Amino acid sequence: MEKRKMLTGNYAAAHGARLARVEVVPVYPITPQTHIMEKMAAFVESGELDAEFVPVESEHSAMAVAIAAQATGARTFTASSSQGLVYMHENLFVASGLRLPVVMAMVNRTIGAPTTICPDLSDSLDQRDTGWIQIYTESAQEAHDMIIQAYRVGEDERVLLPVGICFEGMIISHYMEPVEILDQGKVDRFLPPYRPEHVVLDPDRPMSVHQLVLDDSYYTEYKYQQQVAMEEAKGVIQEVDEAFGETFGRRYGGLISTEMMEDAEVALLTLGSMAPTARAVVSQLREEEDMPIGLVKLRAFRPFPDEELKESLSNLKAVAVLERDVSIGAGGIVYLELAHCLGKKHDSPLLTNYIMGLGGRDVTFEEIKDTALNLFEERDAEVMTNPIRWYQVRGLS
């Protein structure tokens, strides 16, 4: 039976990992992820989860233990944030290069300096080239459900890639929400056990995992296969979301979710915890002002849903990308990818980018409404002037 409980995002994610029957759990503490570590340790100690908990001495080792355990045939789970994610960076490439479907809760937090323990998405977005699937979630429930979906996506033989389930520290990790904890029997039917054939350290079938591919041997082909797997993952994420809906009665839309897009002329595009606020803004403008605006929530950042975004956005006049991250010297990371994906065709919508909420600064209903109203003012412009906008920087007029 499903159970409804008041849970933080961190505990919801930990319950997701427990229900996925993860077998090796190497974690190193870091705020705001630490409650996941504590909860997993408690599950293992109490016997609620039959797993080995490995209290590693660093995030670098956390990922190495996960890689080695997954390569030995165990389903693994870890969690990290911020400096920790950056510290394990080189091993993230190894997990995906060896095609090991490790799953990690990436609890978003800024990267110093300056240091804060508050959220933005720069830490996980910074891992975008490591070959990990990345899914962004907006609530404790979505984090819980997606940890379970992540294993089915990553372990699918068409994919075999590691998966990060991302949610913002403090905002989602620490606030309590009612969460429906899924039923173990149903999860077991939804998620078959991990029985790898492609990479496994088995003395009866010795293989040397991770060799040199010097000179002009097969490095290109290895990378190409990862790219193909990422492309395949687009369909698999969609399929798994549908199957999840059939089993549990809840769907998220797969790569992106679009809301109130019928006859929309403009749209807000965001991800993570800003999505619910943006949704409230869009529905107020729709219902009270009858304004033609919609919402696109980006769920998968890797693989990047270029086709889906083109399809939902190309007939619009203007789109504002609201994001809690920045690539210094360029702009919002999601905006940059979206601009690349939409290109400069004559029917492409005008794009603006609001860099807001950095370092956990609160992003309010009124502020998002302000960006939406700007869209209506600017929707008929020839070109969008000054598209990359640092929203309300103190000390600037």
Partner 1 sequence: MRNLADTLSRSEIFRSGHALCPGCPGGMIFRWITKALGKDSILSMGATCLALPTGIYPSSVEIPSIYIAMAPAPAAVSGISAAIKVLKRKGRIREDRKINVFAISGDGSSGDIGMASLSGAAERDDDGIYFCFDNEAYMNTGIQRSGLTPQFSWTTSTLKGKVEKKKDLPRIMAAHDIPYVATVSVGYPEDFISKIEKARDMGPGFKYFHIHAPCPTGWRFPESKTIEVARLAVETGFWTLYEVDHGSTRITYQPPKLRPVMDYLQLQGRFEGLSDGNVRELQRGIHEKWEHQITLTPE
Structure tokens at 268: 């807000």
**Of the listed pieces 8-16, 23-31, 286-294, 309-317, which binds partner 1 according to CB under 8 A?**
23-31
Is residue 318 left, alpha or beta, with left meaning phi > 0 and alpha meaning psi from -120 to 50? beta
Q: What is the DSSP letter of 198?
A: S
When the beta carbons of 54 and 256 are compared against partner 1, the nearer one is 54
CB of 144 to partner 1, least distance (A): 23
Residue 314: Cβ-neighbour burial (10 angstroms; 0-12, 13-18, 19+): middle
- Restricting to residues 186-205, which ones interact with partner 1 according to CB under 8 A? 200-203, 205
Q: Exactly one of 34, 41, 42, 60 binds partner 1 (CB under 8 A); which one?
A: 60
**Of the listed pieces 68-76, 137-145, 184-192, 295-303, which binds partner 1 according to CB under 8 A?**
68-76
Question: Using H for helix, E for strand and C for coil, what is the string for 124-144?
Answer: HHCCCCCCCEEEECCCHHHHH
User: Does 210 participate in binding partner 1 (rule CB under 8 A)?
Assistant: yes
Q: Exactly one of 13, 18, 19, 23 binds partner 1 (CB under 8 A); which one?
A: 23
CB of 58 to partner 1, least distance (A): 6
**b/e string for 142-171 if b means 16 or more Cβ within 10 A?**
bbbbbbbbbbbbbbbeebbbbbbbbbbbbb
Q: Exactly one of 7, 17, 20, 69 binds partner 1 (CB under 8 A); which one?
A: 69
CB of 308 to partner 1, least distance (A): 35
Query: Which residues lie below 8 Å from residue 178, measured CB to CB, with a gap of 6+?
Result: 4, 5, 6, 7
Residue 395: Cβ-neighbour burial (10 angstroms; 0-12, 13-18, 19+): exposed
When the beta carbons of 42 and 74 are compared against partner 1, the nearer one is 74
- The residues facing 352 across adjacent strands are 320
CB of 55 to partner 1, least distance (A): 7
**Which stretches within 78-121 are classed as H helix?**
82-87, 89-97
User: Does 83 participate in binding partner 1 (rule CB under 8 A)?
Assistant: no
Q: Exactly one of 30, 37, 64, 363 binds partner 1 (CB under 8 A); which one?
A: 64
**Full DSSP string of 369-382:** HHHHHHHHHHTT-S
Angstrom distance (rounded) from CA 8 to CA 19: 17
Q: Exactly one of 3, 5, 45, 58 binds partner 1 (CB under 8 A); which one?
A: 58
- Restricting to residues 320-359, which ones interact with partner 1 according to CB under 8 A? none
Q: What is the DSSP letter of 182?
A: P
- The residues facing 331 across adjacent strands are 327
CB of 211 to partner 1, least distance (A): 5
Which of these, 328, 322, 371, lies nearest to 136 by C-alpha position? 322
**Of the listed pieces 177-185, 208-216, 288-296, 388-396, which binds partner 1 according to CB under 8 A?**
208-216
Q: Exactly one of 47, 114, 185, 206 binds partner 1 (CB under 8 A); which one?
A: 206
Angstrom distance (rounded) from CA 19 to CA 28: 21
When the beta carbons of 209 and 393 are compared against partner 1, the nearer one is 209
When the beta carbons of 210 and 223 are compared against partner 1, the nearer one is 210
When the beta carbons of 214 and 328 are compared against partner 1, the nearer one is 214
User: Does 52 participate in binding partner 1 (rule CB under 8 A)?
Assistant: yes
344, HSE (Cβ side, Cα atoms, 13 Å): 3
User: Does 61 participate in binding partner 1 (rule CB under 8 A)?
Assistant: yes
- Restricting to residues 91-130, which ones interact with partner 1 according to CB under 8 A? 91, 94, 98
Question: What residue type is assigned to position 8 of the chain?
Answer: T
| Residue 180, H or E segment | strand 176-181
Angstrom distance (rounded) from CA 318 to CA 2: 42
**Of the listed pieces 50-58, 179-187, 251-259, 313-321, which binds partner 1 according to CB under 8 A?**
50-58
Looking only at the bridges linking them, the beta strands covering 103-108 and 24-26 are unpaired
Instruction: Yes or no: say if 15 and 187 are a contact pair by the CB < 8 Å rule.
Output: no
User: Does 280 participate in binding partner 1 (rule CB under 8 A)?
Assistant: no
CB of 77 to partner 1, least distance (A): 12
Question: What residue type is assigned to position 146 of the chain?
Answer: M
CB of 223 to partner 1, least distance (A): 17
Which residues contact partner 1 (rule: CB under 8 A)? 23-24, 26, 50-52, 54-58, 60-61, 64-74, 76, 90-91, 94, 98, 200-203, 205-212, 214
